[in-house]
Amino acid sequence: MPGSLTLSDDDRATLAGERGDGARFAMRILVRTAEAMGARTLLDVSSAHVDGCLYHGRAGLDFARRLIDGGAEVSVPTTLNVSSLDLLHPGLVRLKPETETEARELMDAYLTMGCRPTWTCAPYQLPERPTLGEHVAWAESNAIVFANSVLGARTGRYGDFIDICCAVTGRAPASGLHLDGERRARTVFRIGAVPGRLLEDEAAFSAIGHLVGRAARNAVPAIVGLPPSATEDQLKALGAAAASSGAVAMFHAVGVTPEAPTLEVATGGHEPAIDVSIDLPAMRAARDELSTVQVGTSVGSVSIGTPHCSTIELRRLAALVEGRRLAIPCYANTGRDVLAEIPDVAEALRAAGVTIVTDTCTYITPIIERAATPVVTNSGKWAWYAPGNLGFDVAFATLEECIGSAEAGYLVRDQETWGDG
Amino acid sequence: MADATRVLVTGTASGPVVVLDEPLSFWGGFDPTTGRLVDTHHPQVGAALGGSVLVMPAGRGSSSSSYVLAEAARAGTAPVAVVLGEPDPIVALGAIVAEELYGIGLPVVVVPTPGLVTGRHVTVRADPDGTVELAAD
């Protein structure tokens, strides 16, 4: 409540306008939000990841202009999330001209404030990323959950507006996942007998994340039974799905993620509110819940890379499509910095007929034509949001099933992998 | 803290109650051009939320929800008040920005068991001292 938040001398100076009107406005929004969160103080952050550059209407532009008009600039290294446009591949996004103009103005506004033009939802794939125990202010639900869970950095569940306020002031509310006690698991999920072959695919991790998010909602879950070899890409898929079906901002994968050497450490010894098993039938149910069409249905395109593909994922995709004839459009979303690392792979993908999308993503902006639906994806997040965002039918599948479907022109399932039948 | 009644954003507003049985992500789940719930996974997809006193157990999903809520307030399609079962900073932030940018008051309160029924007309009063009043009109 108002009154319980204690500000430093520097904070008060910023709030009084001593660093300019833009910084004053940013601190005012930050203080009000910190009060709503019940924070007692603010703390320093070492970086920020800003989501407000994706256009959802005039309010975002009004907000950014208010900061710029007051001379606001970021005070810590700040990366930018996906936008509404693909600046590297003009013509790919089909926005109305006036919307495109405002979307571009919004992007430029954030560059004016000193943010880096990274345009990716996976800032953790960039070379400089936060490390264990480091406080940051990240927005974008999948980036938040990855930073907290996989990197062991500390960020609250920040959203549009507060992200840039933290970047400008270099401060964030000392509450939530910034604090030790809030990072302990309150729910436990145990992976039962699931074929090892299925657990090699990111789609399995998406399905697990989907189930965890559904049941855990906004509590921190501990997941027991994931392979110690789980990759960052797999944990990315899990976190992104859990942050879509629920408000999960951190998970522990026991024996995998840095703050969960054991279940006892992950829970802090507390009795969990929920302790449930995830078995193969539950994972098939998640797969089917994330699909609006059945096996054998004619499909119109494939979309990979939500969150953005890593270099490893793009290499795997390139190996899978090599020498195969894709009957339908296939889109791969990735970050421009990741793409620049592997020009040979990018070339191979394009030669095989894959359309590479950067700076944005196929589920938030008009790229895929309605005629090219239903869409097959290996992303739980894409499958969760696309029916509402785009009004498209969708099928959730493993990467191999996605490419098999692209070749066949209809949805194929590997019944052995999923244990169907 | 999660069980206590709290004021997240102060203000007073009246409207018909819409009780959501499941959490809603404004981004991806709500269309700020129409004021309708568009999340196809939500049991109440299609519900008209514009002008309502929106009651829901929690926030969910995307960190863009604050932007969508502020945009809806600007466009006149937002709920007039939000009653949450547990605190949600992303919903609160959207309401704070609506007030700071456009002077639109959109009270957000946490009331674990508000006892409100869809269709009833109520006034939400959220005071700076932390008092929350939900009064039938």
* Minimum Cα–Cα distance from A163: chain B residue: B63
Q: What is the DSSP letter of B124?
A: E
- Whether residue A55 lies within 8 A of chain B, CB to CB, comes out as no
CA distance B52 to B118: 10
* Minimum Cα–Cα distance from B93: chain A residue: A33
CA A55 to chain centre: 17
- Whether residue A70 lies within 8 A of chain B, CB to CB, comes out as no
How many domains in chain B? 1
Name the average pLDDT for chain A.
Answer: 95
pLDDT at res. B90: 87
pLDDT at res. B137: 86
pLDDT at res. A3: 56
- Does the residue B1 lie in any domain? no
Confidence of residue B61 (pLDDT cuts 50, 70, 90): low
pLDDT at res. A421: 64
What are the chain B neighbours of A26 within 8 Å (beta carbons)? none
CB B97 to CB A66 under 8 A?
A: no
For residue B1, pLDDT beyond 60: no
CB A157 to CB B90 under 8 A?
A: yes
- Which residues form the domain of B41? 6-136
pLDDT at res. A384: 92
Quick check: do A9-181 and A290-414 share a fold?
Answer: yes
User: Residue A347's CB: how many other CB atoms inside 10 A?
Assistant: 11
For residue A84, pLDDT beyond 60: yes
- Does the residue B18 lie in any domain? yes
Residue recorded with tokens 């009109």: B137
Structure tokens at B133: 């009043």
Question: How confident is the model over B19-36, as pLDDT tens digits?
Answer: 999 999 898 899 999 999
Question: How confident is the model over A312-369, as pLDDT tens digits?
Answer: 999 999 999 999 999 999 999 999 999 999 999 999 999 999 999 999 999 989 999 9
Domain ranges, ordered by start, for chain A? 9-181, 184-287, 290-414
Question: How confident is the model over A176-213, as pLDDT tens digits?
Answer: 999 999 999 999 999 998 988 899 889 999 999 999 99
For residue A225, pLDDT beyond 70: yes
CA distance A352 to A373: 20
* Minimum Cα–Cα distance from A37: chain B residue: B89
- Does the residue B67 lie in any domain? yes
Question: How confident is the model over A210-224, as pLDDT tens digits?
Answer: 999 999 977 999 999
CA distance A279 to A298: 29
Chain A stretch 173-212, residues whose beta carbon is closer than 8 A to a beta carbon of chain B: 176
How many cross-chain Cβ pairs, A to B, lie less than 8 Å apart?
139
pLDDT at res. A325: 96
For residue A296, pLDDT beyond 60: yes
Which homologous superfamily is A290-414 in? Aconitase, domain 3 (3.30.499.10)
Q: Catalytic residue numbers of B?
A: 62
CB A161 to CB B66 under 8 A?
A: yes
User: Thinking of the domain A9-181, which architecture would CATH place it in?
Assistant: 2-Layer Sandwich (3.30)
pLDDT at res. B4: 82
Contacts (Cβ under 8 Å, ≥6 apart) of A330: A301, A302, A303, A304, A321, A353, A354, A355, A402, A403, A406
Name the minimum distance, in Å, from the CA of A352 to any CA of chain B.
32
For residue A175, pLDDT beyond 80: yes
* Minimum Cα–Cα distance from A393: chain B residue: B40
Closest CB from B45, B61, B90 relative to A244: B61
- Whether residue A307 lies within 8 A of chain B, CB to CB, comes out as no
In the 3-class helix/strand/coil scheme, how is chain A assigned residue by residue?
CCCCCCCCHHHHHHHCCCCCHHHHHHHHHHHHHHHHHCCCCEEECCCEEECCCCCCCHHHHHHHHHHHHCCCCCCCCEEECCCCCCCCCCCCCCCCHHHHHHHHHHHHHHHHCCCECCCCCCHHHCCCCCCCCCECEEECHHHHHHHHHHHCCECCCECCCHHHHHHHHCEEECCHHHCHHHHCCCEEEEECCCCCCHHHCHHHHHHHHHHHHHHHCCCCEEEECCCCCCCHHHHHHHHHHHHHHCCCCCCEECCCCCCCCCHHHHHCCCCCCEEEEECHHHHHHHHHHCCCCCCCCECCEEEEEEEEECHHHHHHHHHHHCCCCCCCCEEEEECHHHHHHCHHHHHHHHHCCEEEEECCCCCCCCCCCHHHCCEEECCHHHHHHHHHHHCCCEEECCHHHHHHHHHHCECCCCHHHHCCC
Question: How confident is the model over A245-268, as pLDDT tens digits?
Answer: 888 999 999 999 999 999 999 999
pLDDT at res. A160: 93
Confidence of residue B2 (pLDDT cuts 50, 70, 90): very low
- Whether residue A56 lies within 8 A of chain B, CB to CB, comes out as yes
Give the mean model confidence (pLDDT) for residues A135-160: 95
The percentage of chain A sitting over the pLDDT mark of 90, rounded to a whole number, equals 90
Question: How confident is the model over B84-126, as pLDDT tens digits?
Answer: 999 888 899 999 999 999 999 999 999 998 999 999 999 999 9
CB A36 to CB B9 under 8 A?
A: yes
CB B71 to CB A59 under 8 A?
A: yes
Domain containing B103 — which CATH number?
Answer: 3.50.30.10
Name the minimum distance, in Å, from the CA of A143 to any CA of chain B.
10
Confidence of residue A1 (pLDDT cuts 50, 70, 90): very low
